[in-house]
């Protein structure tokens, strides 16, 4: 059996790994010219952690992960107004939680691929014929491919999904926020942040900062935006929205690169994930959004499920049907959790900000932490349990 996978993100590489492990020939196509280095910190736990464990990846992921010890809500001068112990969240999931940069998770998956998996950068699908018994493709490098299965793992804005299932607006559910992330080198700021994940204690917008290896610093932002359309100048928009937040923000904005990651916070909700021999995976199929804090985890676990269903079914069509039937209910729980989290994530007025501060204080009370952490998410996200 042969699979072509479009997209070499977490979903694409996980699918490649699980299918190759089950004996499939695998070709992965990636639009980017090389491995993506930009990204953001993720909580990695839940079903994806278990799937990564099945692949034997946890020791490598632990090497690549970051030892975040606490999450602090900070004021304009950088003073912590409330602090949460990350260790406590880790204990809630029996230590099966990693703070890892997205490119590092991709790296671990990439390193684990068997040598015969082909990974072709700067390559996309030009034309596609989706037959009952396979797909025929012509690729942007002029070559042709025939395969039994085509997996779109192209992320939330998948072009392949639009070609097969129709335009993005039919499936994208906007959750009312824009998000951005960027990395820059600043050893002095790095020394100030230490192993702390700092978040601003602010209304309608929130910025986070954390130190990476080698004196690099990563910034992550989320702000409320009634208009879902992305700005023409994301860097300018970040300046406009965040310059007044104080402490690290003016300095970070000065160092914001032109190619900043900037996108809507949204989910993909589809009535069906496969058509003929094309199936969607990861965010392309079922983005849960950063508010659910488990998109990467679900991308890895979904790949394990798909490979398992394909292996146990009499034919590919039955395997795809079973995959959808069994994976969808588990997945939808996380999408609902993400939508519920939206109102808590960034306080919309001083009253909500006060409520959040109170909740943060209550989190010091044994037992209350488990209840409230589910409503705070973000880098305190280790609670939305599978
Ligand atoms: C700020 C932020 C914080 C997050 N925090 C967490 C967290 O704490 N925990 C967690 O589990 N998840 C988190 N997530 C979600 C997680 O990052 C995503 O769910 C996950 O990365 C999705 O992986 P993917 O492979 O499906 O898509 P993507 O990562 O988008 O990868 C898609 C790949 O396909 C390629 N591609 C696109 N179009 C084409 C094409 N036409 N042809 C070929 N290649 C193409 C792209 O270049 C890319 O390499 C967060 C997300 C954000 C934005």
Residue nearest to ligand 1 atom 23, measured at CA: 10
The rounded Cα 355 to chain-centroid distance in angstroms is: 28
β-sheet bridge partners, residue 71:
84, 197
Which is more confident, 70 or 371?
A: 70
pLDDT at 164: 97
pLDDT at 342: 75
pLDDT at 58: 98
* Nearest in space to 158 (alpha carbons), one of 299, 37, 44, 25: 299
Residue 315 has pLDDT above 50, yes or no: yes
Task: Give the model confidence (pLDDT) of 322-341 as tens digits.
Answer: 999 999 999 999 999 888 88
CB neighbourhood size of 124 (10 A)? 16
175-198 CB burial, b ≥16 within 10 A, e <16: bbbbbbbbbbebeebbebbeebbb
Cα torsion through 119, 266, 287, 145, rounded to 10:
-40
Highest mean pLDDT among 7-11, 131-135, 248-252 belongs to 7-11
Task: Give the model confidence (pLDDT) of 14-63 as tens digits.
Answer: 999 999 999 999 999 999 999 998 899 999 999 999 999 999 999 999 99
Q: Which of 138, 155, 219, 282 to mutate to test the pocket of ligand 1 (most atoms within 8 A of CB)?
A: 155
d(CA 367, CA 376): 15
pLDDT at 358: 81
Residues in the chain: 386
Strands 205-211 and 196-200: antiparallel
- For the chain, the average pLDDT equals 91
Task: Give the model confidence (pLDDT) of 339-381 as tens digits.
Answer: 888 767 788 888 888 887 887 777 666 555 555 554 444 444 4
d(CA 351, CA 114): 54
Q: Is the CB of 290 under 6 A from ligand 1?
A: yes
Residue nearest to ligand 1 atom 21, measured at CA: 296
Domain boundary assignment for the chain: 2-40+106-172+269-344
pLDDT at 223: 95
Residue nearest to ligand 1 atom 35, measured at CA: 7
Q: Is the CB of 305 under 6 A from ligand 1?
A: no
The domain at 2-40+106-172+269-344 falls in which architecture? 3-Layer(bba) Sandwich (3.50)
Report which ligand 1 atom has the smallest distance to the Cα of 294. Answer: 11
Q: Is the CB of 293 under 6 A from ligand 1?
A: yes
Task: Give the model confidence (pLDDT) of 80-115 as tens digits.
Answer: 888 887 777 788 888 899 999 999 999 999 999 999
β-sheet bridge partners, residue 27:
4, 118
pLDDT at 193: 85
Q: Is the CB of 295 under 6 A from ligand 1?
A: yes
pLDDT at 373: 54
| Rg value, the chain, Cα | 21
Q: What is the DSSP letter of 231?
A: P
């Amino acid at each position: 059996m042969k699979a072509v996978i479009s997209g070499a993100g977490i979903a694409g590489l996980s699918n490649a790994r699980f299918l190759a492990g089950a004996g499939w020939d695998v070709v992965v196509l990636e639009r980017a010219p090389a491995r993506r280095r930009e990204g953001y910190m993720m909580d990695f736990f839940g079903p994806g952690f278990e799937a990564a464990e099945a692949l034997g990846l946890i020791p490598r992921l632990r090497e690549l992960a970051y030892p975040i010890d606490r999450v602090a809500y900070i004021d304009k001068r950088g003073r912590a107004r409330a602090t949460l112990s990350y260790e406590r969240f880790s204990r809630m999931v029996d230590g099966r939680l990693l703070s890892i940069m997205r490119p590092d998770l991709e790296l671990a998956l990439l390193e684990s691929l068997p040598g015969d998996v082909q990974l072709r950068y700067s390559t996309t699908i030009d034309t596609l014929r989706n037959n009952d018994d396979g797909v025929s493709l012509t690729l942007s490098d002029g070559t042709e491919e025939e395969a039994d299965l085509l997996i779109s793992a192209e992320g939330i804005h998948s072009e392949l999904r639009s070609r097969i299932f129709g335009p993005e607006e039919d499936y994208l559910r906007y959750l009312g926020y824009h998000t951005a992330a960027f990395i820059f080198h600043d050893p002095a700021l790095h020394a100030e942040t230490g192993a702390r994940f700092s978040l601003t204690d602010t209304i309608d917008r929130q910025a986070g900062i954390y130190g990476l290896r080698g004196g690099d610093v990563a910034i992550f932002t989320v702000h409320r935006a009634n208009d879902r359309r992305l700005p023409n100048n994301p860097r300018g928009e970040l300046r406009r929205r965040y310059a007044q937040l104080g402490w690290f923000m003016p300095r970070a904005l000065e160092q914001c690169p032109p190619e900043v990651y900037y996108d809507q916070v949204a989910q993909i909700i589809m009535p069906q994930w496969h058509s003929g021999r094309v199936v969607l995976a990861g965010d392309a199929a079922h983005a849960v959004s950063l508010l659910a804090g488990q998109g990467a985890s679900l991308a890895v676990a979904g790949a394990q499920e798909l490979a398992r269903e394909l292996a146990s079914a009499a034919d590919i069509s039955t395997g795809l049907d079973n995959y959808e039937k069994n994976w969808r209910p588990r997945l939808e729980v996380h999408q609902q959790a993400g939508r519920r989290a939206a109102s808590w994530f960034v306080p919309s007025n001083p009253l909500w900000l006060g409520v959040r501060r109170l909740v943060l204080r209550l989190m010091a009370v044994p037992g209350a932490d488990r209840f409230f952490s589910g409503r705070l998410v973000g880098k305190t996200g280790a609670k939305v349990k599978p």
